[in-house]
Chains A and B, each alone.
Chain A
Amino acid sequence: MSSPAALAASVVAAMLCACAGAAQERPRAYSAPRTAHGHPDLQGIWQAMNTAVWDIEDHAAQLGIPAGASVVVDNEIPYRPSAAARRDENRRNRLTADPEANCKMVGVPRITYMPYPFQIVQTPRQITILSEYVHTVRNIFLDSPHPEDPVQRLWMGDSRGRWEGDTLVVDVVNFTDQTWLDRSGNFHSEALHVVERYTRTGMDHLLYEVTIEDPEVFTEPWQMRMPLYRRLEDGIRILEYECYGYLEAGRDG
C-alpha cells in the first residue's frame, strides 16, 4: 500500500489521531469488500461491546453496573447549565423516567450501543438496520434529502445516507424529545442533529463515529466513537426482545 491516495489517507489519519489522543485510533487502511451493486459491504449482525448503554461518560462501577470508560471523545459533554440540571434530574429519576425502562424506542444513536444485536441489510437505494430491541427498524435512504415538511416527529429520526469512500455517512434529524442517550439521563431536544459514520476496519469490525449537535442542550457539537463487533456464532440470528409484552404480562401477573 503505497499509492498516493493511501499515503495521503495515512497522513490524515495520523493527524486526526494526534488531535483525538492516542486512545482514539483511526481506521487502518482497510478496503471493505463490495456488495453485488458495488457499495462497501457493511452487512452482518453487529453489536457494541462496551458500557455506553449505562453511561456514555466515564463511570465507576455500582451494584449491577459495570465500570466503563467514556465513549465520548475528550470525555466531556458540553451541556448548557440549565440542561445539565435537567440531566441531573433525569439521572435521579432514571429507574422510572428512562424511556428504555418503559420499553419505548430509544432513538439514535442509543440503539447502536444497546446490549442487543442488530443486523444491517443493504440494497442499492436503502440500508436497513434491524435491532432485536423492540423490533426497532431504521431505514436509511441513500442520496435523497430529508423531507421538507415532515408530518410527524420520529422516535428514530429521519435518516439519509451517502457514501464517502468506504464510509457510510448518515444524517439524522426530525427527532422527538422523548429519547435519551443512555441510562444515566443524558438527553437531547427535538433540535437534535446526528451525523453517524460507519467504516469497516476489518473483516469483523466496524468503527462507529457520531457527531451530536443540539444547540438547545449543548454549547457545541461533540462526538462519540466506538468499535462495533460482528457476532460470529454459528447460526446467529436476531431474536426478539418484545419488551412491552413482558411489561404487560407483569401487570396481569
Chain B
Amino acid sequence: MNELCVTGTAAFLAVSAGSMLWASPSAAQGWVEESACPGNAPAVFHDCALEAAQAFDPLRTAEGRPNLEGTWILPGGQIGGALEDLEEHPQTLDDLGAPTAVVDPPDGKVPMQAWADARRREHPQRHFHHNAACLLSGVPNTMYHGGPRQFLQTPDYLVILTYNSHAYRIIPLDDRPPPGEKIRLWNGASSGHWEGNTLVIETTNQNGLPWLDQRGRFYTEEARVVERLWLVDHNTLHYQATLEDPNVFTQPFTIAVPYRRSTEERYELEELACYENNEALMAVSRAAGIAIFPGISAAEAREAQRADR
C-alpha cells in the first residue's frame, strides 16, 4: 500500500497512516471500458473527445440538458496520473507514473514562471500536501484526485461528491456572479452554464492554498479556472480545465482527464472520516516541523516576479 499524497521528506510520515486514510473502496474502481475514446493518455483522449463529441447526442434531463449523472472513475486509479505530477513522469517507488495531463501548450509542460518553478521544487520538502491534512483539494485538483466521484444533477445545480475527504462541489447552473472578493474558499466559488452539450464552469474566489500536484505546483488566490465537461459517449466524460494566473504562469494552460462510468449502477459513496482519524499523522508531522503549505499570495508572487527580473 503506497497511497500517499506527500513526497520527499514528508513521505515516510504518511506510510503508516496512508493505507488507513487513502484506501478507497476497491469495488468502485471498475469502469466501463468500451468507449469511443479508449485511450487514457490525456493528449490522445482530448483529441479524440473533441472529435467524438460532435457526433454524439447524449441522454438528456427533463429540461433537455445533457445528463451527466452517475459515478465516474478516473482510470488513473486511486492516485497517480495528474495528482502526482501534471507533467509526464516515470513510475518510481513513490509514483505510479503517467503521461502529461497538459494538453495546451503542446509541449505538455506547466508554464511556470522561473521563480515559481524554483519555489515549487522546495515545497514537497518543507510542506505537507494539504490533502494529507484532510483539507479540500481546490479546483482543479479536486477533479483529478483519486477515488470515485458521483455527479448529481438538478435543473439548478451540478453537485460533485468525491470519496476522498468527503469533499463536495456545488455548482449553480445559473451563471450567477461570484461572491465578494474577500470571500476566499479552498474550492473557490463556481458557477456553470451550458454551451450546447458542454458544461462550462468558471471558478474564482480561491484561497491559493492548495497545490496542483504533489510536485508543489501552486497558484494564487487570483487564479481563474474555466472547466469544460462534455460526454464523449454514454460511458465516457471529458474533463478539461484551463488555469489563468499571470502571477505564477507565463501563459494560461489546459489539462485534460478522462472520466469513465463506474460498472456499479447503484454505487453508494462511503464516508471517509479523514480528519477524524488523522491525529497521529498530524502530531508526528508537527513534531518533524512539517507544516501545511501556507500559500503564496498574489502580492507575494508579484514581488517575487520583480525580484526575479
Closest to A235 in B: B176
Give, as a whole number of angstroms, the nearest-CB distance from A94 to chain B.
Answer: 19
Q: Does A78 contact B (CB under 8 A)?
A: no
Given A36-B62, A242-B135, answer yes or no on A237-B275 (Cβ-Cβ < 8 Å). Answer: no
Whether A137 pairs with B275 at a CB distance below 8 angstroms is no
Whether A248 pairs with B168 at a CB distance below 8 angstroms is no
> How many residues from B make CB contacts under 8 Å with A?
42
Give, as a whole number of angstroms, the nearest-CB distance from A98 to chain B.
Answer: 14
Q: Does B309 contact A (CB under 8 A)?
A: no
Q: Does B304 contact A (CB under 8 A)?
A: no
Whether A239 pairs with B168 at a CB distance below 8 angstroms is no
Interface-lining segment among B82-90, B100-108, B265-273: B265-273
Whether B166 pairs with A137 at a CB distance below 8 angstroms is yes
Q: Which of B141-199 contact A (CB under 8 A)?
A: 152-157, 159, 161, 165-168, 170, 172, 176-177, 179, 183, 185-187, 189
Whether A248 pairs with B152 at a CB distance below 8 angstroms is no
Whether A237 pairs with B133 at a CB distance below 8 angstroms is no
Q: Complex: how many Å from CA A134 to CA B276? A: 11
Q: Complex: how many Å from CA A237 to CA B159? A: 13
Whether B168 pairs with A105 at a CB distance below 8 angstroms is no
User: What 13 new A-B contacts, CB under 8 Å, besides A135-B136, A239-B183?
Assistant: A122-B154, A123-B152, A128-B152, A139-B269, A154-B271, A235-B176, A237-B179, A238-B170, A240-B187, A242-B136, A244-B133, A248-B291, A251-B286
Give, as a whole number of angstroms, the nearest-CB distance from A117 to chain B.
Answer: 11
Contact string against B for A residues 6-49, beta-carbon threshold 8 Å, 1 for contact and 0 otherwise = 00000000000000000000000000000010000001000000
Given A135-B168, A136-B166, A244-B275, answer yes or no on A121-B159 (Cβ-Cβ < 8 Å). Answer: yes
Q: Of the candidates A178, A235, A240, A242, which one forms a contact with B276 in the assembled complex, judged by CB atoms under 8 Å apart?
A: A178
Inside 8 A of A144's CB, which chain B residues have their CB? 266
Whether A121 pairs with B157 at a CB distance below 8 angstroms is yes
Whether A130 pairs with B179 at a CB distance below 8 angstroms is no
Q: Does B48 contact A (CB under 8 A)?
A: no
Whether A139 pairs with B268 at a CB distance below 8 angstroms is yes
Give, as a whole number of angstroms, the nearest-CB distance from A32 to chain B.
Answer: 16
Give, as a whole number of angstroms, the nearest-CB distance from A245 to chain B.
Answer: 5
A-B contact count (CB 8 A): 89
Q: Which of A123-152 contact B (CB under 8 A)?
A: 123, 125-126, 128, 130, 134-137, 139, 141, 144
Closest to B275 in A: A244
Residues on B lying within 8 angstroms of A by beta carbon are 61-62, 69, 133-136, 152-157, 159, 161, 165-168, 170, 172, 176-177, 179, 183, 185-187, 189, 209, 266, 268-269, 271, 273, 275-276, 282, 286, 291-292, 294
Q: Which of A171-195 contact B (CB under 8 A)?
A: 178
Whether A155 pairs with B273 at a CB distance below 8 angstroms is yes
Inside 8 A of A130's CB, which chain B residues have their CB? 159, 168, 170
Closest to A119 in B: B170
Given A36-B62, A240-B136, A248-B282, answer yes or no on A141-B275 (Cβ-Cβ < 8 Å). Answer: no
Inside 8 A of A155's CB, which chain B residues have their CB? 271, 273, 276
Given A121-B152, A128-B161, A130-B159, answer yes or no on A135-B276 (Cβ-Cβ < 8 Å). Answer: no
Inside 8 A of B177's CB, which chain A residues have their CB? 235
Whether B135 pairs with A245 at a CB distance below 8 angstroms is yes
Inside 8 A of B275's CB, which chain A residues have their CB? 103-104, 134, 244
Q: Complex: how many Å from CA A123 to CA B155? A: 11
Inside 8 A of A239's CB, which chain B residues have their CB? 179, 183, 185
Q: Complex: how many Å from CA A242 to CA B207? A: 12
Inside 8 A of B209's CB, which chain A residues have their CB? 245
Q: Complex: how many Å from CA A237 to CA B187? A: 13
Contact string against B for A residues 225-253, beta-carbon threshold 8 Å, 1 for contact and 0 otherwise = 00000000001011110101100110110
